[in-house]
A and B are shown apart, each in its own frame.
Chain A
Amino acid sequence: MKWDRDLKAGLVLMLVLTSLPWWALTSSYTLGIGITALTSVALALAWNVISGIGGQLSMGHGAYFGLGAYTSSLLLVRLGVTPWIGMVAGAILAALFGLCLGYPSFRLKGVYFKLVTFVSSLILEIICRSWSSFTGGDPGLQIPLLRNAPAMYQFASPIPYFYIILAMTSLYFLFTRWILCSRFGYYLQALRDDQVAAEVLGINSLYMKLTGFALSAILTALVGTFYAQYVLFIDPASTFGMFVSVKIALAAIVGGAGTLWGPVIGGLFLIPLAEVANAEFAAILTGVDTVLYSVVLIVVAIFLPRGLVSLPEFIRARRSEVQRMKVSAKPAS
C-alpha cells in the first residue's frame, strides 16, 4: 500500500468520522443521519466497482441490497441463524444472482445490459411481494427486537451501528483504492473505455466483467444485511425497489463515477442532504428529496459531467480561462 495523498486524506477523514458521535452526532436523530450517510457511501463504493470503474452501468443494484437484507433476515426469522452468518449467505446468493444475470447479458450492447439490470430488481421485488408466505410480502418483515445482542447483530444504541458501517465503508474505500492500482482495475477501465481494443490486448472481457459484477453484488449485499439489522424492518419497496437502485447509482454518479472519492462525496453529501430536506419540508411540500436529486443531477450533468470530484479541476480551468482573457488584448475568436 503506497502511503500517498489519498490514503492520508482517507485516514484523516476516518478519524474525523470516528470522533463525530462524541461531539457532533450526539442524538439518535443525528446519529441516524450519519449512519444513512455512511451507508450511502458504502453502497456507492460497491456500485462503483462494476459500474463506475468497470463502466457497466447497473440500474438494478437494489437486487443485491435486497438479497442481502432478505437472506439474512429470513434465515434469522425462520431458522434462528445469526445475521453474522446470514450475511455471508446473502452475499453468496447475491453473487450467484449477479453471475446468472451477467453471463447472458454482458454480451448485449450497453443499453440492453442496463435494461436487464433494471428489470432484474423489479422482478425480485415482485417475487418478494407475491411469495408472501415466505417473505412476508408487501407488509414486510419485522426482525425481532432483542435490544442488546451483539451475537445476533443487534445493539441497543445506534453507536455500535455507526462504527460498524464506518468500518465497512473504510474497508470498501481501501478495496476501491487497491482495485484502481491493480491489474484488475486497469483491465476494468480498459473494458469501459474500449472493449475491442481491450480484447486485442489479451483481456478476457466476459470473465473480468463477471468478476467485477460478483464483487459489487457481494459488497452491496453485506450492506443490505447491515440495513436490515439497523432498521429492524424490511419490505420489498425499501430494499428491491427501483428508487433504491437509483439512489445508489446517483450518489456515485453525482460524486464522480469511476473515481475513488466520487462515491464518498456523493454518499456523504447528497443522500443525507436529501433525507434531511425531505424531513424538514415534509409539512410544506412532499417529495423534496426527489426534487433535490433531480436538480442536483441536472446541474452536475451540465456543469460537472465527471461529478463533484472534478470541481477543483473545473475551477482551475475557469481561472486559467479568466487569466487568458485578461492577458490577451485580442477579443476571443
Chain B
Amino acid sequence: MAALLEVEGLNKWFGGLQAVAEVSFSIQEGGIVGLIGPNGAGKSTLFDLLSGVQRSTTGRVRFRGHDVTSGGAHWSAHRIAALGMSRTFQKVRVFPGMTVLGNAMVGAFLHTANPAEAEKRAEEALEMVDLYEMRHRSTRSLTLVDRKRLEMARALCTRPSLLLLDEVLSGLNRQEITVALDLIRRLNRSGVTLIVVEHLLRVIMELSQRVLVMDYGQLIADGKPEEVRSNPKVIKAYIGGTEESHA
C-alpha cells in the first residue's frame, strides 16, 4: 500500500539558520503519529512545510501520491488542503470577524458551494466537538479551549485524510485534556490519520502508535513509544528538563 505521506530529505533554511535538517519519514494511512522535541526543534516549521504554508529549501514531500514540492513549483497551501491535508496552529487562528458557525462553514465550503449544505456539515462538526450550542456566538467571547475546539472542527469540515495537530493540548487542564484525547481518538477511528505535536510526553506515549522526535531540526528518533522513550539521544535532547507540567 502506498504511503499517505512520504518525506524525503526535507530541508528548510532561514538565512543562516537551519530549521529543518534532512528530515525523512513516511506515514501510512490510519493511526496516530506523535511528534515531539524540545522547543525550537522545528516541529511547527515542519508542519508549515508539509501544509504548504512555507516552502522547503530542498527535499521532497509526497502526499497521497502527489509530489507537492515538484521542483520549483511548490504547491501552495490551498492546493494541499484541497488534496486532503488539514492543520491547526500552535497559536490558535480562528476568524475573529465571524461567528463560531461561520468559522466552521469556511472549512465546509471546500467540498460544497451550497451555503445550506455547508451549514449542515459545519453544525455536524461543531456537534462533534461539543460547540453546537455556541454556534451563533462571536469568537471574541470564546475561551482558549473553545477556540481550539473550533479550530479543530473547522479543520474537520474540510474532510481531511491527514490532520496535523499543533499543540492542541497546551493550556488545557486535566479534565479538558481527557476530553480532547477522546476526541482525537474518535477522529482517528473515523478514518483520519493524525500527526500530533505535544509537549506532554506521557500523553504522546499513550496516544500514538509511533513517535517521531526532532531536535535542532533533525529527526533523531522514529519508532514505537517504548523504544523512543529509552533512546539515549532522546533523553539527551531533553536533558535537565523533566516532562513539562501543565497549569
Footprint of B on A, CB under 8 Å? 181-183, 186-187, 189-190, 192-194, 196-205, 258
Contact = CB atoms under 8 A, between A and B. Distances in A.
A200 B51 contact: yes
B96 to A, nearest CB: 6
Contacts of B94: 197
B93 interface: yes
Contact of B115 (A181, A189, A192, A202): A181
A99 B105 CA distance: 28
Nearest to B107: A201
B75 to A, nearest CB: 11
Given A182-B115, A190-B95, A200 B86 contact: yes
B106 A186 contact: yes
Question: On chain B, which size bracket covers the interface?
Answer: 20 to 34
Contact of A193 (B87, B89, B96, B112): B96
A108 to B, nearest CB: 17
Nearest to A196: B53
Interface stretch (B77-85, B193-201, B202-210, B224-232): B77-85
Contacts of B154: 201
Which 6 residue pairs of A and B lie closest in terms of their CB atoms, listed nearest first?
A202-B81, A193-B95, A199-B77, A197-B93, A202-B110, A183-B109
A190 B77 CA distance: 15
Contact of B93 (A181, A196, A203): A196
Given A186-B106, A201-B110, A193 B98 contact: yes
Given A199-B76, A201-B158, A183 B118 contact: yes
Contacts of B110: 201-202
Interface centre among A183, A190, A201, by most B CB within 10 Å? A201
Nearest to A205: B78
Interface of B: 51-53, 76-78, 80-82, 86-87, 89, 93-98, 102, 105-107, 109-110, 112-113, 115, 118, 154-155, 158
Contacts of B76: 199, 204
B97 A192 contact: yes
B78 to A, nearest CB: 5
A160 B77 CA distance: 50
A135 to B, nearest CB: 41
Given A190-B95, A193-B96, A193-B97, A200 B113 contact: no
A201 B53 CA distance: 11
Given A186-B109, A190-B98, A196-B53, A201 B81 contact: yes
A197 B89 contact: yes
18 contacts: A182-B115, A183-B118, A186-B109, A189-B102, A193-B95, A194-B95, A196-B93, A197-B95, A198-B95, A200-B51, A200-B53, A200-B77, A200-B87, A202-B82, A202-B110, A202-B158, A203-B78, A204-B78
B158 A186 contact: no
A192 B106 CA distance: 13
B86 A189 contact: no
Contacts of B86: 200-201
Nearest to B157: A201
Contacts of A194: 93, 95
B113 A183 contact: yes
Nearest to A199: B77
Contacts of B82: 202
B95 A199 contact: no
B81 to A, nearest CB: 4
Contacts of B155: 201
A109 B112 CA distance: 30
A202 B158 CA distance: 8
Contacts of B105: 186
Contacts of B109: 183, 186-187
B97 A189 contact: yes
Given A198-B106, A199-B77, A204-B78, 16 more contacts: A183-B109, A186-B105, A187-B106, A193-B95, A194-B93, A196-B93, A197-B89, A199-B52, A199-B53, A199-B78, A200-B51, A200-B52, A200-B81, A201-B107, A202-B78, A202-B110
